Amino acid sequence: MPHHAPPTMPGQPDPHRHDTLLYLDGVSVAFDGFQALNNLSMVVARTEMRAVIGPNGAGKTTMMDVITGKTRPDSGTLRFGETIDLTRHDEADIAGFGIGRKFQKPTVFESHTVEDNLALALKGRRGPFAALFHVTGDDERQRIDDLLSLIRLAHLRAAPAGGLSHGQKQWLEIGMLLAQDPQLLLIDEPAAGMTDAETAATAELLRDIARTHSVVVVEHDMAFVRALDVKVTVLHEGSVLAEGSLDHVSANRKVIDVYLGR
């Protein structure tokens, strides 16, 4: 799904588009004097896939922390859909609204089986009493079976997740994300630690997901970003340095300076 949008100027998002899903405007976060995010603005449309790149310390992970409610921004606007102000909610709420997140380091529940990992992620009531009396239904089982075959772990469904390889954990985590059935997926370095074949398969899987979901992918691997073939946002020192197609931003003088050093 190529997305050759004309390059927009950073810092000027358009909040009035009806297909806007995620809207960040002027978001700033500081840790003890270190400005992790500096007046960051970005818009992600429905069913858009966006790649976010940037050198270490550019604020990529902090951006995800802010969107998912882990870190409160010092200032700025953060909206999801038309009405939801994300700054007023915590992680659990935000996950409930339909934002799923995959960590940089694959994080699965190591002592649970692959199947239980997916079962815990399945969309459903999240209260403790609902969980206490929960009985797994046929539709849930069906959904788990589908996901298992999608992430190619059906043969390991009863194995403890801690025993999976690095790449398998990445896939399981993506599967858990899908089980949540979110509107927006935030994916941090999905290709890290994967073989070339796995990387290609992952890119394909993500493109597939983006047909029906919005996806924001943070990645270092330029080959992978190229394989995704989507609009790219370059972060540097907590704000947007450039935005556009990968070719467009790679030609940008400032981007070259940042990546090659001044």
Chain residues that interact with another protein, rule: CB under 8 A: 31-32, 34, 36, 61-62, 65, 68, 70, 90-92, 95-96, 100-101, 103, 107-112, 116, 119-121, 126-129, 131-136, 160-163, 176, 180
Q: How many CA atoms lie within 13 A of 16 on its CB side?
A: 0
Instruction: State which residue, 135 or 197, has the beta carbon closest to another protein.
Output: 135
- Residues 229, 54: Cα–Cα separation, whole Å: 17
Instruction: State which residue, 7 or 124, has the beta carbon closest to another protein.
Output: 124
Closest CA to 160 of 123, 122, 108, 121: 108
In the complex, the smallest distance separating the C-beta of residue 2 from another protein, rounded to whole angstroms, is: 30
Strand order in the sheet with 214-218: 99-102, 184-188, 214-218, 49-53, 231-236, 239-244
In the complex, the smallest distance separating the C-beta of residue 64 from another protein, rounded to whole angstroms, is: 10
In the complex, the smallest distance separating the C-beta of residue 9 from another protein, rounded to whole angstroms, is: 30
- Residues 110, 204: Cα–Cα separation, whole Å: 26
The DSSP output letter for 192 is T
- Residues 243, 233: Cα–Cα separation, whole Å: 4
In the complex, the smallest distance separating the C-beta of residue 127 from another protein, rounded to whole angstroms, is: 7
The DSSP output letter for 17 is -
Instruction: Evaluate the CA torsion angle 101, 203, 234, 53 in order and state its sign.
Output: positive
In the complex, the smallest distance separating the C-beta of residue 132 from another protein, rounded to whole angstroms, is: 4
Tokens 């999608």 sit on residue: 150
DSSP letters along 148-161, please?
HHHTT-GGGTTSBG
Instruction: State which residue, 92 or 260, has the beta carbon closest to another protein.
Output: 92
In the complex, the smallest distance separating the C-beta of residue 133 from another protein, rounded to whole angstroms, is: 7
Instruction: State which residue, 36 or 246, has the beta carbon closest to another protein.
Output: 36
Instruction: State which residue, 11 or 96, has the beta carbon closest to another protein.
Output: 96
Instruction: State which residue, 61 or 239, has the beta carbon closest to another protein.
Output: 61
